[in-house]
Amino acid sequence: MGRELATQERRKERLDRGIKVRTEGIYAVSSWQEVTYLVLPRLVLIVGLLLLPLLMPSLYWNRVISIVGIYALLALGFDFLAHFVGLVSLGGAFFIGVGGYTAAILNKSLGLPPALTIPMATIGGAIICTLLLLPALPLRGVYFAIVTLMYPLALTRIIEALNIFGGTDGILGVASFPNRWVEQYLIILIVIFALFGLRRLVNEDIGLVFRGIKDNDQAVRASGLSITLYKAIAVFIASGLGSLGGAYLSHIYMWSGISQFALDFSVIPIAATVIGGGGTLVGPLLGCFFLVPLSEFLRAFGTLRIVIYALILMGFIMYRSEGIMVYAQRKYHQFQRWVKV
Amino acid sequence: MDILIYGIINSFSLALMAIGFTLVYGISRLPNFAHGALYVVTGFGVWWFLNKLHLNYIVAILLALVLMGLVGAAIYRFVLIRVRGMATSEIIATYALGLAVLEGLRWGGFRGMTYTLPVFIEGSINIGGIPVDLQRIIVVGIGIVVVTFMWLFTHFNKTGLALRGMAQDEHAAMMLGIDSDWMAVIAMAMGSILAGLSAIALLPLGNIVVEAGYNVLILSIAVCIVGGLGSWVGAIIAAFMIGFLQIITVAYIQSHFHMVVALLAIIITLILKPSGLFGKQKELEERV
């Protein structure tokens, strides 16, 4: 009885910090304190990413950083599709595989250097993925998730059955990057560019349309806009990011094969997004920096690591579905205090 | 003749696999992406009861089915209820659960050729000059019984009617005093039992392998989409179409294309008639 009363008498109130309100307009530039408040989080992220290869100079960790970058691209694409357009993709491996094979084929059969194959695989892979996913786009509901789940599994079977693209051996001898610094800094710059590019995009007019499709597609239709077209644009962007990662992966390992359609590429981006905080775009990136090194530590356990991701994923989605970044942003922008009711 | 007989058997296998998923998704709108995992778990469960606890085969089967029902109810009660209504989270949560179970089994050493269930009755009979073993006949029999039972259940039983009411209009059903959570628990429990039943009928025909979990999930979804959500007739006809197409593909083209048939069926259905062959429910809501 006494406890009940106590909880009724006061509750937590959440208010924006004064500095947050002051930095919303152009007058933020009027004081150093406010400029710092705005720039610091972004600066920490960018500088941190750029310093990472220097802080971890061993060959092994260099490779891990590149892999984290690839997963980060996938996770950004997933977050963008799921939380800004309302399409849940269960097949990150599909984007990786298509991009990886495209880059490897361009490199091996036409002899193009990585500087050409990566952009071509990005655009080409995005076109292929968008065309293949097009049937599911005019529909609402779980169809998109189902179709993206099926493509990686089906493409693996097709490649095995027809014995095309090197069959089960894959395509060997793909050209590599000139040196490991280029390999790492290129992917880090791409990730930073993709992150801030997407953030800009979702705040433009087209981002408003995307969110409209997620929240109320009939309203978008009533405005005379084609939902399928906008969904296709969003899928093109996300699959382009994935294909870019896939092309990068092929060139890093100098190999492309059916293991690029493996489940890891589908599960880790989803888990990273849920842990990091969906809808923030930065969250998935941080989630990848936590999950991918964990995956490296767990490599000895084989498929147990997929079990661990799946369990982390379930735990977060059931009990802490806001994720780390949403929590951190709230702490940064707002304060709490007890008030009497 | 070959194609006709094995086509019918394959179609009934598909119908059995899919009916649990159809019940849960088509009727209660819960996308149970752990369906394949439940299928495989039942197989290993029965195997474990038989070979480690040395139970009678029938006892082992009944025990496994009861456990499956409890597991299904528990999945709803402890996992799905927390994310109900958020389509994204529902999909991710059940998919993650299925993944954890399947990959956990793979890691636990449940792979290879060593895990098989005995057939119910040994022997085979000749139909039109083609030997068919009795287990396959039993699969067809169980398929017919289950489909008939489910049709009767959802048309003439109060609980079954309530399930369909939930599917058609959740708010109206709740106003009539139907408890939405309780119905969903029942649907999940029945769906899991049906997944287990199909596993018990089908697994004696081959080895128990983890990959079957993914295949069963995909085939169930294919049948469900091609047939149209919430339509029993559609699901049966879709099972026959995909079943025969698969057998014809295996006979004339290549056995690897088995799964590709299911994918193509889904894609073509989504392009031509997204609500499925006989789907009337929610037809307008699915299409944007």
Q: Chain A neighbours among B 153-192 (CB < 8 Å)?
A: none
User: Do B146 and B19 touch, CB atoms closer than 8 A?
Assistant: yes
Closest partner CB to B99 (pick from A153, A267, A274): A267
pLDDT higher than 80, residue A181: yes
pLDDT higher than 90, residue A130: yes
User: Do A242 and A123 touch, CB atoms closer than 8 A?
Assistant: no
A273: part of which helix (H) or strand (E)? helix A264-276
CB contact under 8 A, B89 and A160: no
Q: Is A313 on the interface with B (CB under 8 A)?
A: yes
Of residues A298 and B65, the one with the higher pLDDT is B65
Write out residues in chain B with pLDDT < 50, as ranges: 284, 288
Query: What pLDDT is attached to residue B113?
Result: 60
A266 residue type, one letter: S
CB contact under 8 A, B106 and A303: yes
Q: How many CB contacts within 8 angstroms connect chain A with chain B?
A: 126
pLDDT higher than 70, residue A11: yes
Confidence band for A233, pLDDT divided at 50, 70 and 90 = very high
Query: What pLDDT is attached to residue A246?
Result: 92
Q: Chain B neighbours among A 128-147 (CB < 8 Å)?
A: 135-136, 138-143, 145-147
Confidence band for A90, pLDDT divided at 50, 70 and 90 = confident
CB contact under 8 A, B88 and A149: no
Q: Nearest C-alpha of chain B: how many angstroms from A183? A: 32
Residue B226 in 3-state DSSP? helix
Of residues A182 and B280, the one with the higher pLDDT is A182
Q: CA nearest A143: which of B263, B176, B235?
A: B263
CB contact under 8 A, B103 and A303: yes
Query: What pLDDT is attached to residue A2?
Result: 46
Q: Nearest C-alpha of chain B: how many angstroms from A161? A: 5
Q: What is the pLDDT of residues A273-295, one digit of tens each?
A: 888 888 888 889 988 988 888 88
Q: Nearest C-alpha of chain B: how many angstroms from A292? A: 17
Residue B276 in 3-state DSSP? coil
Q: Which residue of B has its CA nearest to A157?
A: B256
Cα-Cα-Cα-Cα dihedral sign, residues A84, B96, B25, B164: negative
Give Cβ neighbours of residue B113 (< 8 Å, ≥ 6 apart). B207
CB contact under 8 A, B103 and A310: yes
Query: What pLDDT is attached to residue A193?
Result: 93
Q: Which of B103, B252, B271 to mutate to test the interface with A (most CBs of A within 10 A)?
A: B103
Give Cβ neighbours of residue B280 (< 8 Å, ≥ 6 apart). B228, B230, B231
| Matching residue, tokens 């070979």 | B51
Q: What is the pLDDT of residues B81-126, one digit of tens each?
A: 888 877 778 888 888 888 888 888 888 776 666 677 777 777 777 7
Q: CA nearest A269: which of A96, A78, A140?
A: A78
Query: What pLDDT is attached to residue A209?
Result: 92
CATH code of the domain covering residue B72: 1.10.3470
pLDDT higher than 50, residue A48: yes
Query: What pLDDT is attached to residue B280?
Result: 61
Query: What pLDDT is attached to residue A7?
Result: 55
- Say what the pTM is: 0.85
Instruction: Calculate the alpha carbon distances from A52 to A181, A246, A296, B83 in Å.
Output: 11, 22, 17, 37
Enclosing domain of residue B47 = 2-286
Tally of CB atoms within 10 A around A75 = 34
For chain A, percent of residues with pLDDT exceeding 70? 97
- Residue B288 with chain A: CB contacts under 8 Å: 138-140, 217-218, 221, 227-228
Give Cβ neighbours of residue B192 (< 8 Å, ≥ 6 apart). B20, B38, B68, B69, B71, B72, B73, B75
Q: Which of A89, A129, A142, A274 to mutate to test the interface with B (most CBs of B within 10 A)?
A: A142
pLDDT higher than 90, residue A58: no
d(Cα B141, Cα B18) in Å, to the nearest integer? 16
Q: Based on the number of CB atoms within 10 Å of its own CB, is B114 exposed (0-12), middle (13-18) or buried (19 or more)?
A: exposed
Q: Which residue of A has its CA nearest to B81?
A: A318
Of residues A77 and A306, the one with the higher pLDDT is A77
Query: What pLDDT is attached to residue A1?
Result: 42
Q: Is A88 on the interface with B (CB under 8 A)?
A: yes
Average pLDDT on A80-100 reads 89
Domains of chain A: 50-334 (1.10.3470)
For chain A, percent of residues with pLDDT exceeding 90? 23
Q: Which of B80, B97, B99, B284 to mutate to test the interface with A (most CBs of A within 10 A)?
A: B99
What the block records as the tokens of A330 is 């709230």
- Count how many domains chain B has: 1
User: Do A64 and A296 touch, CB atoms closer than 8 A?
Assistant: yes
Q: Is B280 on the interface with A (CB under 8 A)?
A: no
Q: Is B113 on the interface with A (CB under 8 A)?
A: no
Q: Counting every residue, how long is chain A? A: 341
CB contact under 8 A, A321 and B99: no
Q: What is the DSSP string of A131-200?
A: HHHGGGTTB-TTHHHHHHHHHHHHHHHHHHHHT-TTTTT-EE-----S-HHHHHHHHHHHHHHHHHHHHH
Query: What pLDDT is attached to residue A232?
Result: 94
Q: Is B52 on the interface with A (CB under 8 A)?
A: no
CB contact under 8 A, A146 and B225: yes
Average pLDDT on A142-161 reads 82
Query: What pLDDT is attached to residue B284?
Result: 47
